[in-house]
Amino acid sequence: MVSAQTVEDNVTQFYGKTKICYGPYALETLESFPARHAFVVTDPFMVKSGFADQAISHLKRKGIGYSVFSGVEPDPTLQAVVEATGHFLRSKSDMIIALGGGSAIDMAKAIAYFGNKADGGRKAMLVAIPTTSGTGSEVTSIAVITDKANAVKIPLNDEFLIPDAAILDARFTRTVPPHVTASTGMDVLTHAVEAYTSRYSNVFTAIYAERAIRNVFTYLQRAYDHGDDMVARDNMLIGSCMAGMAFTNSGLGVTHSMAHSLGGQFHIPHGLANAVLLPFVISFNSFDAGVKYREIAEMIGLPSATVEEGTRNLINAVRDLNTAMHIPARVRELKVDEQEYHRGLDAMAANALEDICTRSNPRLPSHDDLVLLFESAW
């Protein structure tokens, strides 16, 4: 008889829990979910712009009661999660709807998680409606919460955090400004590249990651240049979701570990930090993951006769895409104080080393490696 350990060591798993609804009228599927009372987690802009009302109108049509928490801010804090969870518990909701970007979805996941713990294991259905194409959080087991006291971002990872349903309606992304389209789009690329090259990648994660990479290099520039190009918007939203499906199964890498640390210390938007750091991390990983970088270069039509050529051209392609969207090439261009940055190198490297994303990086770094990476990115 085969032992349980032998099975665990020789069986690869791919987990996909989320019901994905996409297309021009995807929002209408809200009416198909069984619920008595919904707790809507969103931000002030979604309320002011009328987007929240669009979602709520479908709840009203089905006679579903609702409460709205519209206090989501960028990089949700532990303190904000505690406050919002209290509102959720008092509402007695059996469905949580996250409407917004990664911050709103991460906040909703944390509310669902801690609410479940505080309410004797009662589980509310979690529905995510992303309004940016970036985090892929609508299908992942990860949420990022900021610990302000220690100036660090904390990635939570639990299967409970995976939403039950995701509604991908690109109409919500039409008004996203170019600079946000750029940074969130580069977040998609970083997710996909790191999932593809992860120590724990597999045939299924590679399929999703490859499609996401192709979508970014085909459609991100179009979405940036022409915000009302709904074909580009739709394909970026789908690419974001596919990258999320990939990395929630494979894990990520050091780009994300460093971005969490850098963002927590200097309040740099996550996607922007990823965009700046990704070329440096590809170079760092190139000895261990060069074959996969060459495969990525080939899939987007770059010359890649050798591993070195493919890797070099991929790095240049990432930098060229950043440049075309006015994303800085180095941390120093992000208005970070130089002395403060260099004083914080050891702490940022220590945080990145302990980050959950580091364990799936193709090359396992040391503390000194991460210090050097942060220095090279300056």
Question: What tens digit of pLDDT does each residue of 260-271 get?
Answer: 999 988 989 889
What pLDDT is attached to residue 78?
87
Report d(CA 327, CA 83) in Å as an integer.
Answer: 35
pLDDT confidence band for 75 (50 / 70 / 90) = confident
Estimate to the nearest angstrom the gap between the alpha carbon of 344 and the chain centroid: 25
What pLDDT is attached to residue 74?
83
Torsion, Cα of 36, 38, 39, 42 (10° steps): 180
Closest residue by Cα to residue 166 from 192, 130, 112, 132: 130
What pLDDT is attached to residue 2?
63
Q: Which residue has the higher pLDDT, 274 or 116?
A: 274
Report d(CA 130, CA 36) in Å as an integer.
Answer: 23
What pLDDT is attached to residue 81?
92
What pLDDT is attached to residue 262?
95
Residue 7 in this model has a pLDDT that exceeds 60: no
The mean pLDDT of 329-355, rounded to a whole number, is: 95
The mean pLDDT of 336-352, rounded to a whole number, is: 95
Q: What number of other Cβ atoms are within 10 A of residue 275's Cβ? A: 28
Residue 285 in this model has a pLDDT that exceeds 90: yes
Q: Which helix (H) or strand (E) segment is 333 a member of?
A: none
Report d(CA 319, CA 311) in Å as an integer.
Answer: 12
What pLDDT is attached to residue 146?
83
pLDDT confidence band for 176 (50 / 70 / 90) = very high
The mean pLDDT of 185-213, rounded to a whole number, is: 97
The mean pLDDT of 336-349, rounded to a whole number, is: 95
pLDDT confidence band for 12 (50 / 70 / 90) = confident
What pLDDT is attached to residue 99?
97
Mean pLDDT across the chain: 93
The mean pLDDT of 47-73, rounded to a whole number, is: 94
Domains and CATH numbers, the chain: 19-168 (3.40.50.1970), 178-377 (1.20.1090.10)
